[in-house]
Amino acid sequence: MKYILMFLMLLLSFNAEAQVKQNGVKNSSGQNNLQQMQNNPVLKMSRSYISTGGNQRKAFNIMILQEVASYKLGDEKLKKEVDGLRNNREYYDKLEKIKKKLSNGRISNTNNQEVLRILNDAGNRIYNLLGN
């Protein structure tokens, strides 16, 4: 019985993820996605199972960071500069150089571990500032 419940929870979480992805494609506004996720009973239930430690928490923090950064790129003060960088060849050259030094492999070097630590810390700080 316990395994059946765990399997159902797993299926519900995949269904919720698919709905979020589908809704994210339809709605370009991050605010609309947030409102839909807040009203989704499956996501309300699954949010209570976020781990307070370990890799799931790191993933949570980095996803928080990604969403907040994406949202803040639309800030009125930054919008013009962001648009300018999107058409700047130097930006893409520097970004490519950075990406070549990154690795998502199981065994990572100290630079990759430090990048992950910085991202985790930034996401955690944003969540602590705005999520409570």
Q: What is the pLDDT of residues 70-111, one digit of tens each?
A: 999 999 999 999 999 999 999 999 999 999 999 988 887 899
Query: Domains in the chain: how many in total?
Result: 2
Whether this prediction's pTM lies above 0.75 is answered by no
Same domain, 37 and 82: no
Same domain, 30 and 85: no
Same domain, 68 and 100: yes
Same domain, 45 and 69: no
Residue type, 129: L
Of the candidates 23, 48, 50, 25, the one whose C-alpha atom is nearest the C-alpha of residue 37 is 23
How many alpha carbons lie under 13 Å from residue 98 in its C-beta half-sphere? 7
Contacts of 123 (CB under 8 A, 6+ apart): 60, 61, 62, 63, 64, 65
Structural domain boundaries, residue 131: 52-132
Same domain, 45 and 60: no
Same domain, 31 and 86: no
Let me know: does 61 contact 123? Beta carbons within 8 Å: yes
pLDDT at position 8 is 42
